[in-house]
Amino acid sequence: MTNYGTLYFQMLVFIAWTCACVAMVGHMDVGLDQSISLPQDSYLVDYFEKLSTHLSTGPPLYFVVESGHDYTTLNGQHMICSGPGCPEQSMLGQIYKASKKPKE
């Protein structure tokens, strides 16, 4: 007592809908924007606006120090250190200086 025309039509619509959804997945943004997920009078709205304006972070960046580097000497430690008291010529000091250059 099954109408095969209706069954085939439903299967065709289902397959077309599934293909359309799979095709659109690449165009979707990941996650929910914090600014629209909060009420406009929330104190966090100002925090998230300042965070997106002033905090510039990118993807993680890794540097590999080849084997043979002498970490036991003070000079070897100064070559890779970062923070107060480290020379500007250290690896991370140079990376920091490069990050502060204006983009061309």
Per residue in 6-65, pLDDT tens? 999 999 999 999 999 999 988 887 777 776 778 888 888 888 888 778 776 666 677 888
What token pair was written down for 13? 């619509």
- What is the Cα–Cα distance from 20 to 40, expressed in whole angstroms? 35
Confidence (pTM):
0.38
In this predicted structure, the answer to whether residue 68 has a pLDDT above a threshold of 90 is no
The amino acid present at 6, given as its one-letter code, is T
35 Cβ contact partners less than 8 Å away, ≥ 6 residues apart: 45, 48, 49
- What is the Cα–Cα distance from 92 to 74, expressed in whole angstroms? 16
Q: Are 76 and 69 in contact (CB under 8 A)?
A: yes
